[in-house]
Amino acid sequence: MVEYLKSAPGLPPQSSGDTTDTVQIMLARLKTGKEDAVREYSAKLDGWDGDIVVSPEQVERASLLVPETLKAEIRYAYDNIRRFAEAQRASAMDFETELRPGLIAGQRQIPLNAAGCYVPGGRYAHIASALMTITTARAAGVPNITACSPPRPGQGVHPAILYAMSLSGADRILALGGVQGVAAMAFGLFGAPEADILVGPGNQFVAEAKRQLFGPVGIDMFAGPTDSLVIADKTADALTVAWDLVGQAEHGYNSPVWLVLDDAELAAKVQAHIPACIAELPEPNRSSAQAAWDALGEILLCENREEMAQMADHYAPEHLHVQAADLDWWRNRLNAYGSLFLGANTTVAFGDKASGPNHVLPTSGAARYTGGLSVHKYLKTVTWQRVEDEALPALARATAAISRAEGMEGHARTADIRLERVQSPLQAVVNS
């Protein structure tokens, strides 16, 4: 029996109609007005009237502004992300198999031609998002990678983001944010090819633009606010758990954090630590974390670990952090999450920034049916088949019979004509 020691009152109702309408109007204008419309929106919304296409010389100058110590840490994170993505790529293999004598089928893994990677750069400089999206596309073998990030008035794209974009292998970089940045990549503006897929996190306008463009253009996923769930038992440290909840709540007022445990004493200790942890944050992080915890934070007390696992699967969090004994049991039992963080040492922030697996993950319960961004998102798994004469009679008879049962005579005739062709030489031999 699950007891809610802290329930989430939820956020006030908000209408998404305004966002949907605004983005629809913008995309229509951007599609017809092209680069002129992009520049207009960039000046109006981002206060940017400088170069849209960031030159290699500009990237080099910006990189000089990044401290060498930070560059070294970015390279460390990049190396982990690249190695993990390359290992994923190696697991996606072409193959062929002979299903029956003369019936051969197979699959190929074909990289997409062009990717558009959106890197947020407004309130926070999302250096790690550049590494996650671009590096993974490059490891998948995508030959054309365009990246964009919002410019700051009078400054342009954040220097560390530019350094990360260049390090990760972006072919071209656009100083663009918001809907206009997404549209520029989707529509193939400023010298970029039309994107086959749009990836990367963003605000509600970026997410809505990706949603409306989806169909002719692929996207990584429909993304909502980030969320995180911690599973803890009596072996967990209360202060560590509290900071892990607060650390994820600082993403924003609409970012849920949940704690699932089986120890009432631990729950009380964690809840007691949280106000002090929030108070230590600088503004505006403090206000964001407080708002998220007040409106969306929950603490669930369960009777045993199986009930805890059931609740975790029900929530299907983007980030699932287990701070409990017997980690192998949890790894084998849990089934619905974007990424799993096992053990007290393995904070979600490691995955967000530097450990290797991708941080672009399903939110809002979507982890019930999908995983996060990976090289597989940048690959098309296509199939092929070839039929030799020895396999043709049985295959043609089955196809014709099923086609006629479905009422599809034309399909049946395409099988019949091939059956007649291989039977005719045999009939000639019989007649002789």
Residue 343 φ/ψ region, left for φ over 0, alpha for ψ in the -120 to 50 degree band, beta for the rest: left
Identify whether 96 is a catalytic site residue.
no
Q: Determine contact, residues 167/74, Cβ cutoff 8 Å.
A: yes
151 burial type by CB count under 10 A (0-12 exposed, 13-18 middle, 19+ buried):
buried
Q: Which of 318, 376, 406, 420 is catalytic?
A: 318
One-letter amino acid at 376 equals H
Q: Which helix (H) or strand (E) holds 244?
A: helix 238-249
Evaluate the CA torsion angle 52, 352, 261, 314 in order and state its sign: positive
CA distance 42 to 247: 32
Identify whether 208 is a catalytic site residue.
no
CA distance 299 to 259: 5
Q: Which of 319, 359, 411, 420 is catalytic?
A: 319
CA distance 120 to 258: 25
Q: Determine contact, residues 354/77, Cβ cutoff 8 Å.
A: yes
Q: Write the DSSP assignment of 185-220 as a string of letters.
A: HHHT-TTPPPPSEEE----HHHHHHHHHHBTTBEES
SS3 category, 341: strand
Evaluate the CA torsion angle 158, 161, 166, 171 in order and state its sign: negative
Q: What angle do CA 352, 353, 359 make, to 5 degrees?
A: 40
Q: Both tokens of residue 400?
A: 């014709």
Which residues are tagged catalytic? 318-319
